[in-house]
């Protein structure tokens, strides 16, 4: 359930209690989502590197832990001591299991330019933690905001057809786009992120020269993300089992 200004009831009361516990809100939890609660949500979102829109969607609920339904996920630690949760066994590199996750495993996060990006919940949580640490290291918004995440096999079919036309052959297209059924994006654990210029093969070389790419190269694996050498904007969540 998404909570925003104007919402009321027990879910709002739980949210307010959590915000009070975390020090973002003072007073009592009255169950009415007014301007003071909205400001507290924005403060919390800013502190966690989330888009500070004052709306409590799945991503903010996950970061709050326990304010939504289901078990509270491990929260990113400000020191960067985040421990990613393995999905594949043994993991520890690029995605090999390209099957689509259950709907219950998917969340929607706020992406670049206000777009909604769907991701596996563990990838979303790890990308949020990665972003918090990157911001602390001076990698400013909107860098690293997700551009695209989960893609269905049907969506990949049209992406693939456009690429074959653009690059002239299936062989040439394969360098930039995976054939339908074979994209790591089907898993919901691949993130294409904003690196300061559009996602375009012509920008790949220049993006590899940026501070944000160097930061990712040095730090992404701590959050369970691994690179694809041809696409500096593309990172895959597949932490090793421990």
Residues binding Zn ion (CB under 5 A):
192, 234
| N-term to C-term CA, the chain | 34
Query: 20 or 228, CB closer to Zn ion?
Result: 228
| Structure token digits, residue 115 | 């777009």
Q: How far is the CB of 40 from Zn ion (least distance, A)?
A: 35
Query: 121 or 234, CB closer to Zn ion?
Result: 234
Query: 44 or 235, CB closer to Zn ion?
Result: 235
Q: How far apart are CA 1 and CA 68, in angstroms?
A: 7
Q: How far apart are CA 239 and CA 65, in angstroms?
A: 22
Query: 25 or 173, CB closer to Zn ion?
Result: 173
Of 42, 27, 32, the residue nearest 6 (C-alpha):
32
Q: How far is the CB of 231 from Zn ion (least distance, A)?
A: 6
Q: How far is the CB of 146 from Zn ion (least distance, A)?
A: 10
Contact assessment for residue 192 and residue 146, using Cβ atoms and an 8 Å cutoff: yes
For 79-97, give one letter per residue: b (16+ CB within 10 A) or e. Answer: ebebebbbbbeebeeebee
Q: How far is the CB of 163 from Zn ion (least distance, A)?
A: 12
Query: 3 or 124, CB closer to Zn ion?
Result: 124
Closest residue to bound Zn ion by CB:
234
Q: How far is the CB of 154 from Zn ion (least distance, A)?
A: 17
Q: DSSP string spanning 184-213?
A: GGGGT-EEEE--SS-S-GGGHHHHTTSHHH
């Amino acid at each position: 359930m998404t909570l925003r200004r104007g919402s009321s009831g027990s879910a709002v009361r739980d949210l307010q209690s959590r915000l009070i516990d975390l020090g973002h809100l003072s007073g009592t939890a009255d169950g009415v989502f007014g301007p003071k609660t909205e400001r507290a949500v924005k403060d919390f979102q800013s502190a966690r590197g989330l888009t500070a829109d004052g709306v409590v969607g799945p991503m903010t609920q996950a970061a709050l832990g326990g304010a939504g339904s289901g078990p509270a996920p491990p929260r990113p630690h400000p020191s960067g001591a985040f421990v990613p949760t393995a999905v594949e066994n043994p993991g520890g590199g690029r995605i090999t299991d390209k099957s689509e996750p259950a709907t219950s495993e998917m969340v929607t996060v706020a992406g670049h330019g206000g777009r909604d990006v769907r991701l596996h919940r563990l990838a979303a949580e790890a990308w949020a933690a990665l972003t918090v640490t990157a911001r602390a290291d001076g990698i400013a918004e909107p860098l690293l905001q997700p551009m695209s995440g989960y893609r269905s096999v049907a969506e990949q079919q049209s992406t693939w057809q456009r690429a074959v036309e653009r690059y002239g052959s299936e062989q040439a297209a394969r360098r930039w786009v995976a054939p339908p059924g074979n994209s790591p994006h089907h898993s919901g654990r691949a993130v294409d992120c904003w690196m300061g210029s559009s996602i375009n093969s012509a920008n790949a070389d220049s993006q590899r020269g940026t501070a944000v790419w160097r930061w990712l190269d040095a730090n992404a694996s701590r959050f369970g993300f691994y690179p694809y050498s041809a696409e500096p904007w593309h990172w895959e969540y597949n932490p090793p089992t421990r």
